[in-house]
Structure 1
Amino acid sequence: MQQRLLLAAALFVSTTAAWAQVPVPAAKQTKATVLTGATLHVGNGQVVEGATVAFNEGKITYAGPSAGFNAGGTAYEAVNVSGKHIYPGMILPNSQLGLTEIESVRATLDQQEVGMFNPNVRAVVAYNTDSDITPTLRSNGVLMSQVTPMGGMISGTSSVVQLDAWNWEDALVKADGGVHLRWPAMVQQTTDNSPQVQQRRQARQTGLSELEALLAEAKVYKNQKNDRRNLKLSSLGGLFDGSKKLFIHANYGKEIVESIRFAQKAGVKEMVIVGGADALVVADFLKENNIPVVYSGVHALPARAEDDVYLPYKMPGLLQKAGILFCLDYDASLHGTRNLPFIAGTAVAFGLPKEQALSSVTLNAAKILGVDQQVGSVEVGKDASIVVSEGDILDMRTNKISHAFIQGRKLNLTDKQQYLYEKFNGKYNSANKAEVGK
Structure 2
Amino acid sequence: MKKIYLLLCSGLLCAASLQAQPPIIAKPQSKAIALKGATIHIGNGQVVENGVVVFENGKITAVGNAQTSTGSAEVIDAAGKHIYPGVIAPNTNLGLDEVSAVKATQDKVETGMLNPNVRSLISYNTDSEHIYVTRDNGVLIAQTVPEGGVISGTSSVVQLDAWNWEDAAYRKDDGIWMTWPAMFSMGGRLEAGTVKKNDKRGEVMGELDRTFKDAYGYSQIKNPSPLNLKLEAMKGLYDGTKTLFIHTDYAKEIVEAVNFAKSHNVKKYVIVGGDDAYLIIDFLKENNVPVLLNSLHRLPGRTEEDVDMPYKLPAILHKAGILVGLAYEETPYNYRNVPFIAGQAAGHGLSKEEALQIVTLNNAKILGIDTRTGTLETGKDANIVVSTGDLLDMRTNNVIQAFIQGRQIVLDDKQKRLYKRFSEKYGK
Name the TM-score, length of structure 2 as normaliser. Answer: 0.95
Moved over 4 A (4+): 199-202
Match of 1:45 in 2: 45
Deviation at 1:49, TM superposition (A): 0.6
Deviation at 1:139, TM superposition (A): 0.6
Match of 1:16 in 2: 18
Is 1:100 the equivalent of 2:67?
A: no
Quick one: which of 192, 201, 219 aligns to 2:216? 219
Deviation at 1:202, TM superposition (A): 4.2
Deviation at 1:200, TM superposition (A): 5.8
Quick one: which of 130, 138, 144 aligns to 2:135? 138
Quick one: which of 159, 163, 168 aligns to 2:165? 168
For the residue of structure 1 that corresponds to 2:91, the secondary structure is strand
Deviation at 1:227, TM superposition (A): 2.5
For the residue of structure 1 that corresponds to 2:90, the secondary structure is strand
| Equivalent-residue separation in structure 2 for 1:372 and 1:339 (angstroms) | 22
- Pair member with larger Rg: 1
Q: How does 1:16-415 map to 2 (within 5 A)?
A: 16-19=18-21, 22-71=22-71, 75-187=72-184, 201-224=198-221, 225-415=223-413
The one-letter code of the counterpart of 2:282 is D
| Equivalent-residue separation in structure 2 for 1:2 and 1:97 (angstroms) | 41
The one-letter code of the counterpart of 2:60 is I
| Equivalent-residue separation in structure 2 for 1:40 and 1:15 (angstroms) | 40
Does the 8 Å contact 2:182/2:198 carry over to 1? no
The one-letter code of the counterpart of 1:270 is K
Deviation at 1:332, TM superposition (A): 2.3
| Equivalent-residue separation in structure 1 for 2:425 and 2:70 (angstroms) | 49
| Equivalent-residue separation in structure 1 for 2:290 and 2:405 (angstroms) | 27
Spell out, residue by residue over 1:258-285, the C-alpha distance to the aligned partner (whole angstroms, 9 max, x if none). Answer: 0100111111111100001001011110
| Equivalent-residue separation in structure 1 for 2:197 and 2:307 (angstroms) | 31
For the residue of structure 2 that corresponds to 1:135, the secondary structure is helix
Deviation at 1:315, TM superposition (A): 0.9
| Equivalent-residue separation in structure 2 for 1:308 and 1:54 (angstroms) | 45
Deviation at 1:187, TM superposition (A): 3.1
| Equivalent-residue separation in structure 2 for 1:124 and 1:185 (angstroms) | 28
CA RMSD of aligned residues (A): 1.5
| Equivalent-residue separation in structure 1 for 2:224 and 2:13 (angstroms) | 55
Spell out, residue by residue over 1:255-313, the C-alpha distance to the aligned partner (whole angstroms, 9 max, x if none). Answer: 00001001111111111000010010111100110000001141110001121101111
For the residue of structure 1 that corresponds to 2:203, the secondary structure is helix
Spell out, residue by residue over 1:170-229, the C-alpha distance to the aligned partner (whole angstroms, 9 max, x if none). Answer: 0011011111110011139xxxxxxxx9x9644211111111111111111111132321
Match of 1:436 in 2: none
Match of 1:7 in 2: 9
Does the 8 Å contact 2:388/2:396 carry over to 1? yes
Deviation at 1:13, TM superposition (A): 2.0
| Equivalent-residue separation in structure 2 for 1:200 and 1:322 (angstroms) | 33
Higher mean C-alpha displacement, 139-148 vs 2-11: 2-11
Question: 5+ residue gaps in structure 1?
Answer: 189-196, 431-438
| Equivalent-residue separation in structure 1 for 2:395 and 2:276 (angstroms) | 31
The one-letter code of the counterpart of 2:404 is I
For the residue of structure 2 that corresponds to 1:40, the secondary structure is strand
| Equivalent-residue separation in structure 2 for 1:3 and 1:361 (angstroms) | 53
Spell out, residue by residue over 1:17-40, the C-alpha distance to the aligned partner (whole angstroms, 9 max, x if none). Answer: 122xx1111111111111100010
| Equivalent-residue separation in structure 1 for 2:407 and 2:156 (angstroms) | 21
Match of 1:194 in 2: none
Q: 1:333 to 1:10 in 2, by over 3 A?
A: closer
Does the 8 Å contact 2:327/2:338 carry over to 1? yes
Deviation at 1:117, TM superposition (A): 0.4
The one-letter code of the counterpart of 1:402 is I
Deviation at 1:125, TM superposition (A): 0.6
Name the TM-score, length of structure 1 as normaliser. Answer: 0.93
| Equivalent-residue separation in structure 2 for 1:232 and 1:149 (angstroms) | 15
Question: 5+ residue gaps in structure 2?
Answer: 186-193
Does the 8 Å contact 1:317/1:347 carry over to 2? yes
Q: How many residues align?
A: 416
Does the 8 Å contact 2:295/2:341 carry over to 1? no
| Equivalent-residue separation in structure 1 for 2:197 and 2:173 (angstroms) | 32
The one-letter code of the counterpart of 1:155 is S
| Equivalent-residue separation in structure 2 for 1:264 and 1:376 (angstroms) | 28
| Equivalent-residue separation in structure 1 for 2:116 and 2:281 (angstroms) | 29
Deviation at 1:70, TM superposition (A): 4.6
